[in-house]
A and B are shown apart, each in its own frame.
Chain A
Amino acid sequence: MPTATRLLPWLLLAPSLAALVVITGYPLVRMLWLSLHEYERAQLLGVPAPFVGLDNYVATLTDARFWTVTARSFVFMLVCVVLTITVGTLVALLLMKLGRVMRLVLSLGLLLAWAMPPLAAMLVWGWIFDSQYGVANHLLTSLTGDDWMGHLWLIDPVSFFAVAALVIVWGAIPFVAFTLYAGFTQVPGEVLEAAQLDGASARQRFFRVQVPYVRTIYVVLIVLSMIWDLKVFTQIFVLQGIGGIKSETSTLGVYIYEMGMAQGHYGAASAIAVIFTVIMLAISAYYVRATVKEEQL
């Protein structure tokens, strides 16, 4: 093979490789390094950082707050994923049932929710749940007859996370519904008809025919939702700014920000970040392996 041809692929890869090594690879290594050193505000100003081995990890894993935050993140993630996938499936099935006009109407509604930038969406929902003038309190007052005006939704952690889950699920359903709808339309009509002739109920047709047909799509959607909902940052961060109590509502991403950027415990925060990364990789391992196999790499 001539040298030019041997070099060409590397030449084509070089810019991407450079960007990834410098902006992703180096910080990853640096994150590991930081997690093994004592690194506080003073070190940021030039004081040498002493090597402390696994001290940061031990401190993290023996800290009750870390476990609270992790458990909170997981429970929140699970609730969001289950809601997103269930309601997303129902909406996709509804899209299948609709005529052309109503499908267009529903698609437009979904599209509007999907298109909202997460930050703008969060602020709008914060306004909807505003204690004094929010439409939610207005609505509840006129519906129930009780006086909801002045009700603080974000001060109680449970209702804080209920609001956060509502916003996240609202924003995530359109993508899930559209994707599943696209998958369902690929199921051959003859197969469904044959199942119907054989006496399969609608429920059986759904679980025995439609779901297995789009199984890979479900796997991708579930893994994606798990990753997105576990590392949620913007939504929680902004809701806290509107009126949540940080210590009782932080999730892993926000916790790292609090420990590191806000309080200056860079070493400890990096140890949490490494653990966080390992959790993410574990969740996605199945998906990565399946993809590699499918692509025959």
Chain B
Amino acid sequence: MSLAPVGAAAAGAPVPVLAPGAVTRRRPARRTAASFGWGAVAALLAAAFAFPVYWMVNTSLLPTNLVSGPELHLWPDELTWRNYDTAMFGQVRSPFVPALGNSLQVTFLVLVASMVLAFFASLALTRFRFRGRKAFVLSILVIQMVPGEAMMISVFQLVDSWQLLNTVVALGMVYLAGVLPFTIWTLRGFVNGVPVELEEAAMIDGCSRPRAFWKVTFPLLAPGLVSTGVFAFLQAWNEFMMALIIMTRPESMTLPVWLRTFQQATKATDWGALMAGSVLVAIPVVVFFLVVQGRMTGGLVSGAVKG
């Protein structure tokens, strides 16, 4: 019995996006012209989608006088790192390094906590029949639909009443609660794909139940844990609204909140430095996407919902 694809199949088979398509066709000669035309359309479209990203990098590498000059510089013909220096060390009021530290901490916290809690919860929901199970699953489905924007005031007051404003722990907890419904739901699908017989076999061989979960089920959940982790990472690294109201002190801002202070700090926006800052915030996400892209679509569709 091959075990590897079980988890993937359970979650609606994530299809590797960049892998060769399922249908490989051999084109007759007369279709070459048409396929060349589609190729050209694809190239244009790819350029259009990538352009803002390119423009961000381009601007971040240009000297300030060329950024705000009468002429358009389509590529960095006068390369400079000055904008990155300004972004990272020029901001006196809200410095980059603490913001990076806060973002890393909160992301790590949410990543680890959400995977552990979702693993436990998904076991409970798939391996046991107990009263309240249906109610719990239904609740997390419904909770996913409640917009965070609606709860910002009461969440703010809750964190405030605990005297935890401007703390990474508080923001991490808010994010954790935000991602849990989705991560539990997703992981539940993957656990369903691991045959319960495997655990039972291990228990007959003398494993305790928790040990069977840990030694048998957990290692088979790699694809599910990746989906879960990707979602938690993106949520914690990118989130802006809650961070905006909970992390207001200059030294406790996360990267997105820090990035926004650029615009208020100076009257005229220093676009070069702002773009350099945007690159710094975007790089980890882009790298992450390129590494895990194959798992993104299938996992998201199978679990669905919560943005």
Q: Which residues of A contact B (CB under 8 A)?
A: 6, 8-10, 12-13, 15-17, 19-20, 22-24, 26-28, 30-31, 34, 44, 91, 94, 96-100, 102-121, 123-125, 127-128, 130, 132-133, 135, 138, 170, 173-175, 178-179, 181-182, 185-186, 189, 217, 220, 223-224, 227-228, 231, 233-234, 237-238, 241-242, 252-253, 256-257, 260-261, 266, 269-270, 273-274, 276-277, 280-281, 283-284, 287-288, 291-292, 295, 297
> For A242, what are the chain B residues with a Cβ–Cβ distance below 8 Å?
263, 269
B120-A13 in contact (CB<8A): yes
B153 contacts chain A at the CB level, 8 A cutoff: yes
Pick the contact of B140: A20, A179, A220 (CB < 8 A): A20
Q: Which of B117, B281, B290 contacts A19 (CB 8 A)?
A: B117
**Complex interface: chain B residues within 8 A of A9 (CB):** 124-125, 127-128, 130, 133
CB of B89 within 8 Å of the partner chain: no
Residue of B nearest to A295 (CB): B137
B301 engages A128 (CB within 8 Å) = no
Contact check, B151 vs A20: say whether CB atoms are below 8 A apart.
no
Question: B304 interface residue, CB < 8 Å from A?
Answer: yes
Return the chain A residue nearest B14 by Cβ. Answer: A182
Considering only residues 241-283 of chain B, those with a C-beta below 8 Å from chain A are 241, 245, 256, 259-260, 263-264, 269, 271, 274-275, 278-279, 281-282
For residue B79, CB closer than 8 A to chain A, the reply is: no
Residues on the A chain within 8 Å of B9, using CB: none
How many angstroms between the C-alpha atoms of A104 and B49 in the bound complex? 14
Choice from A13, A116, A241 contacting B285 with Cβ under 8 Å: A116
Pick from A130, A189, A287: contact of B271, CB below 8 A. Answer: A130
- Which of chain A's residues has its CB closest to B286's CB? A115
Q: A12-B124, A227-B305 are in contact. List 8 more A-B contacts (CB 8 A).
A: A9-B124, A24-B178, A98-B39, A112-B286, A115-B285, A228-B307, A234-B241, A256-B150
- Give the size of the chain B interface in residues (CB under 8 angstroms): 105
B42 touches A94 (CB 8 A): yes
Number of A-B contacts (CB under 8 A): 308
Q: Is the CB of A257 within 8 A of B21?
A: no
Q: Which residues of B are interface residues toward A (Cβ below 8 A)? A: 14-15, 17-18, 20-23, 35, 38-39, 41-43, 45-50, 52-53, 55-56, 59, 67-69, 72, 116-118, 120-121, 123-125, 127-128, 130, 133-134, 136-143, 145-158, 173-174, 176-178, 180-181, 184, 209, 237-238, 240-241, 245, 256, 259-260, 263-264, 269, 271, 274-275, 278-279, 281-282, 285-286, 288-290, 293, 296-298, 300-301, 304-305, 307
A28 neighbours in B (Cβ, 8 Å): 146, 151, 154
User: CB within 8 A of A112: which of B53, B125, B297?
Assistant: B53
B142 touching A19, Cβ below 8 Å: no
B124's partner among A10, A130, A231, A241 (CB-CB below 8 A) is A10
Q: How far is the CA of A281 from the CA of B116 in the complex (A)?
A: 29
Q: How far is the CA of A112 from the CA of B120 in the complex (A)?
A: 34
Whole-angstrom distance between the Cβ of A189 and the nearest chain B Cβ: 5
Q: Are B120 and A125 in contact (CB under 8 A)?
A: no
Known: A19-B176, A276-B147. A113 touches B52 (CB 8 A): yes
Q: Which of A10, A27, A130 contacts B151 (CB 8 A)?
A: A27
Question: Which one of B22, B55, B151 contacts A135 once the chains associate, using CB atoms below 8 Å?
Answer: B55
The 10 closest A-B pairs by CB, nearest first: A109-B46, A23-B177, A253-B149, A273-B150, A27-B154, A182-B15, A9-B128, A115-B289, A12-B124, A30-B154
Query: CA–CA, A127 to B298, complex, Å?
Result: 34
User: Would you call B158 and A189 a contact (CB within 8 A)?
Assistant: no
A234, B235: Cα distance in complex, Å: 13
List 14 A–B pairs whose Cβ atoms lie within 8 Å, in order of A's numbering.
A16-B120, A16-B184, A17-B121, A23-B174, A30-B154, A104-B18, A105-B46, A109-B48, A111-B290, A117-B282, A120-B56, A127-B271, A181-B15, A223-B305
